[in-house]
Amino acid sequence: MSDVTVKGFIEKYRLAFGDKVPLPIAFGYSDIPVSEIKTVPKCLVGSISNVRHGDSLTLSADNVICGGGGLYTAFTDMPERVPIFVSEVEHYKKTKEMVVDYVRGLNIELTQKPYLNFVRIDNLKEWSDAQALLFFATPDMLAGLCSWAFYDNNSPETVVTQFASGCASIVTRAITENRAKGRRCFIGMLDPSARPLIPENELTFTIPMCRLMEMLDTMDDSSLYQKAFSALRRRINR
């Protein structure tokens, strides 16, 4: 594990991106909730996005009412209606069989812990409390985050974008990658159904914790503190 503490990363992040960017959100499964188990709107994305303002969020099988949301947060198996809805209502896949095949390929393992917690990073005590870090990022921020990820990794899958609902692009991909101890980061929130719940000029960038522990040790030497990114930093903080 990296020697960079949560507090130390926040200082480095502010130095790299400036004071106007939202702090990233840490999330992971736990036996202990970090907030009251409140009813959330059917789509989880808006509630997750709101964590950037400082309030923590706890999801569970009791307050995730969206069938897809329950699946992609690993609280429930896939409801029978999901393949039909995705293919015949949303038209995101040509056939329901394609949806079933897609979900099978996600390798979702039902969580053995009752809670999925989201906390803004300044409310995180230790890195061990999280399984991934989530950034809501503008294109200029993405340029910096991707450059940082590319710095020590030549793989063509260093940063990937894959078909997914909003919550799957945030949660499922990163949790599965972390479990496999992989090195991929994920750009998400290309789901037209969920995009109205976040600002129009944002996507998400998710770093599994296993990869973050590597990236924390390359941050100082990456392009984030060099001349090329300084112009973007000024534009981000206008």
| pLDDT per position as a tens digit, 149-207 | 999 999 999 999 999 999 999 999 999 999 999 999 999 999 999 999 999 999 999 99
- Please determine, for residue 1, whether its predicted confidence score (pLDDT) is greater than 80: no
Q: Which residue has the tokens 């037209």?
A: 192
- Rounded mean pLDDT of 53-71? 95
Backbone angles phi, psi at 46, to 5 degrees: -60, -40
| pLDDT per position as a tens digit, 90-142 | 999 999 999 999 999 999 999 999 999 999 999 999 999 899 999 999 999 99
Domain membership flag for residue 1: no
| pLDDT per position as a tens digit, 213-232 | 999 999 999 999 999 899 99
- Let me know the angle formed at the C-alpha of 144 by 207 and 142, rounded to the nearest 5 degrees: 65
User: What is the average pLDDT value for the chain, to the nearest integer?
Assistant: 96
Q: What is the pLDDT of residue 149?
A: 98
Range of the domain at 93: 6-236
Question: Looking at beta carbons, which pairs linking 154-160 to residues 24 or more positions away fall under 8 Å?
Answer: 155/183, 155/184, 157/184, 158/183, 158/184, 158/185, 159/184, 159/185, 159/186, 159/187, 159/205, 160/184, 160/185, 160/186, 160/187
- Please determine, for residue 21, whether its predicted confidence score (pLDDT) is greater than 80: yes
Q: How confident is the model at residue 7 (pLDDT cuts 50, 70, 90)?
A: very high
Report the share of the chain in percent with pLDDT over 70: 100
B/e letters for 97-124, b = 16+ CB within 10 Å, e = fewer, are: eebbebbeebebeebeebbbbbbbbebb
Q: 45, 194 in Cβ contact below 8 A?
A: yes
B/e letters for 185-206, b = 16+ CB within 10 Å, e = fewer, are: bbbbbbbeebeebbeeebbbbb
Domain membership flag for residue 89: yes
Domain membership flag for residue 219: yes
Q: 59, 82 in Cβ contact below 8 A?
A: no
- Going from the C-alpha of 130 to that of each of 6, 51, 113, 116, 197, the distances in angstroms are 11, 15, 13, 10, 24
Q: What is the pLDDT of residue 39?
A: 87
Domain membership flag for residue 214: yes
Q: Tell me how far apart the alpha carbons of residues 173 and 6 are, in angstroms, rounded to a whole number.
A: 23
Q: How confident is the model at residue 60 (pLDDT cuts 50, 70, 90)?
A: very high
How many independent structural domains does the chain possess? 1
